[in-house]
Amino acid sequence: MLPYIDILNYHISTYAVMASIGFFVMCLVAWLVTRRQSDIDTTQIVHIALAAMAGLFVGAHVLYGAVNIRILINAVKDHFSLLHSPMDYLNLFIVIFGGMVFYGGLFGAIIGAVWYMKALKLPLLPYFDVMAFCIPLFHGFARIGCFLGGCCYGIESRYGLVYHDAIEPSANGVSRFPVQLLESGMEFLLFGVILALYMRKKLKGKLMYVYLLSYAVVRFLDEFLRGDRIRGFVGPLSTSQFISLLVFVTVVIILAFGRRKTGESHSPARQEACENWET
């Protein structure tokens, strides 16, 4: 495909270009949608997005390192016998932490955004609803970058294409299903659905749950079409499938607990007790 492009005599990753376009489009859409809302400070949109991107960068690399921690464990067991110079140690660090895992980036982005909003005492839920449609919009562009670069590639399939110069050498030479484009399309679909809910003021304060539940299902299923083994496995499931299950179950429990709590607060017995207390 096209892993790198030349811009002003600079050799730039296509993934970085697509991610940058996604970031710009995401911020623009967020501003256009919220510019007339009283509960959203549009001047904070870019600041929150930058804080989220900083968290995304750290979280994505940390989770990638966790997936590949066995490399470090093996190096320790060998007493670093194969490392003979500072450059060797640097290369080991790059091998362990040099890649990115989306779920790590997602959690990092949420943490970064929450940290910033807490620091400025901004209300979380209104901005979380905006993030719920912004994240899949950004991710849709980023996955196109994955497709062009040849990372996160698909299984061998006659319904696909052949990479010759992918950034992941193991992707080259065979016909592979374009799973990155499939996920990109699903992300844009999620963006459209959640944005429609937002514009119609449906599920206010819960749109992040909608995104997390929906993406967990999408990611769990499309992992079966992934061909890269480097992403790691937990038993028979890939790392992302395992995390998808955890995310889905956690969100369901949170929603069920919240519904039960709401039901209890509106129960006749509780209301009568409150009235007796007040009298």
Between 233 and 21, the more confident residue is 21
User: What is the average per-residue pLDDT within 175-201?
Assistant: 97
Q: Tens of pLDDT along 141-184? A: 999 999 999 999 999 999 899 999 898 889 999 999 999 999 99
Q: Is 262 exposed, middle or buried (0-12, 13-18, 19+ CB in 10 A)?
A: exposed
What DSSP state is assigned to residue 68? T
H or E element in which residue 38 lies: none
Distances (CA, A) of 267 to 151, 262, 279: 53, 9, 19
Q: Angle formed by the axes of helices 102-119 and 45-67, to 10°?
A: 140
Q: How high does pLDDT run on average in the chain?
A: 90
Q: What pLDDT digit, counting tens, does each position of 204-260 carry?
A: 999 999 999 999 999 999 999 999 887 788 889 999 999 999 999 999 999 998 877
Backbone φ, ψ for residue 4 (5° rounding): -140, 150
The Cα 241–Cα 121 span in angstroms is 35
What integer pLDDT is reported at residue 247 of this predicted model? 97
User: What pLDDT shows up at residue 240?
Assistant: 94
Could you read off the pLDDT of 228-237 as tens digits, one per residue?
Answer: 887 788 889 9
d(CA 266, CA 270): 7
CA distance 146 to 22: 13
User: Would you say 243 and 103 are in contact if contact means Cβ atoms under 8 Å apart?
Assistant: yes
Which element (helix H / strand E) includes 157?
strand 156-162
Residue 93 has pLDDT above 50, yes or no: yes
Whether residue 61 is predicted with pLDDT greater than 90 in this model: the reply is yes
The pair of structure tokens assigned to 253 is 């429990």
Whether 115 shows a pLDDT value over 90: the answer reads: yes
Q: pLDDT tens across 99-113, in order?
A: 889 999 999 999 999
Residue among 137, 151, 171, 181 at smallest CA distance from 29 = 137
Predicted local distance difference test score (pLDDT) of residue 265: 59
* Number of CB atoms found within 10 A of residue 192's CB: 13
